Amino acid sequence: MMDFNERVIPGVTANFQFQESLARYEFARINLKKGIKVLDLGCGTGYGSNLLSKNFEVFAVDSDKEVVSYAKKHYSGSASFIVADAVFLPFGDDEFDAVCSFEVLEHIEDDRKMLSEVKRVLKKEGKFIMSTPKRVGRKLRSPYHIREYSYDELSSLLKKYFKRVEIMGQSKSEKAKSAFDDFLKSQKAREKMVQGDSFGIRRLLPKPLKEKIWKLLGAFFGRATQESLKTSDFPITSDIENAEFFIAICQK
């Protein structure tokens, strides 16, 4: 069963989180030349690969067999979905014009090996567009993260592998900030459901029913503010100070 807290699942995940994630793919789509060959590294459920496929030839990889199966089922024909490890990519040297990887690097134990692989599969002058959470303080923002980066740490790391590195920031509109408060309330409701299931009843329910219950719990809070959000409510600009996520555009 996919982890709802970690995976973005269209139709199940709160629209707040979905639009925030999709905005990164939209940024990549409009900043790359049409018709090129693109690798979506850490594609998750495939919604972003599907968007990229409108402009590019897309290959998409993830180490999680379940999400790759989901992607193949829901986005068949939009991209070639492959189960693979980010540090051992099953592609030849200089194979892709661009690599996109959103919210992946912070999960990888050997982040340097991943970046080395990205550089290897990129063609000369190829682009790497990635995102990662901005580190705030010492505590990790998510228990799923191995590490998080400050601006200087990320910049220094990327410059070891790419000749040009530009780091931008992704933030929220005022509308999105309000919706985020509602999003947190829905998350707390979902967490209580999980914590209160001391008898493990949740494991006995069919997957479609579990996803429906998860979605309904989220809908109890701020449906109007959530559903009206768009990718434009999560702008990517040069404003690093107020950003919550770093967006890096690198060139081999």
* Cα Rg of the chain, angstroms: 18
Residues 23, 47 contacting (CB under 8 angstroms): no
For residue 116, what is the DSSP state?
A: H
**Vertex 129, ends 181 and 78: CA angle to 5°?**
85
pLDDT greater than 70 at residue 222: no
Number of domains in the chain: 2
Q: Both 121 and 51 in a single domain?
A: yes
Residue 214 falls inside a structural domain = yes
202 pLDDT more than 60 = no
Structure-token pair, residue 150: 């400050």
Residue 219 lies in a domain: yes
Assigned domain for 197 exists = yes
Structural domain for 32, as ranges? 15-171+238-251
- Do 33 and 60 fall within a single domain? yes
Torsion of CA 101, 102, 105, 107, to 10 degrees: -120
Secondary structure class of 166 (helix, strand, coil): strand
Helix (H) or strand (E) holding 119: helix 111-121
- Tell whether the model's pLDDT for residue 3 goes beyond 60: no
Are 156 and 179 in a shared domain?
no
Asked if 100 and 134 sit in the same domain, the reply is: yes
Its pTM surpasses 0.75: yes
Same domain (yes/no): 191, 245:
no
* Mean pLDDT of all residues in 27-42: 97
* Domain identity same for 102 and 147: yes
Query: Does residue 232 belong to any structural domain of this protein?
Result: no
Ranking 64-78, 128-142, 185-199, 201-215 by mean pLDDT, the lowest is 185-199
* 6 assigned to some structural domain: no
What confidence category does residue 142 fall into, taking pLDDT thresholds of 50, 70 and 90? confident
Is 161 in the same domain as 178?
no
- 8: in domain: no
Average per-residue pLDDT for the chain: 88
77 & 183 share domain: no
* One domain, residues 151 and 211: no
The reply to whether 1 falls in a domain is no
> Domain check: are 155 and 50 in the same one?
yes
Residue 5: pLDDT band (50, 70, 90) is low
Rounded CA-CA distance 20/43 in Å is: 15
CB 26 within 8 A of CB 51: yes
16 confidence band (pLDDT: 50, 70, 90)? confident
CATH number at residue 126: 3.40.50.150
Does residue 120 sit in the same domain as residue 202? no
Question: What is the model's pLDDT at position 228?
Answer: 83
* Mean local confidence (pLDDT), 134-143: 81
Assess whether 209 and 91 both reside in one domain: no
CA 1 to chain CA centroid, Å, is 19
In a domain, 233, yes or no: no
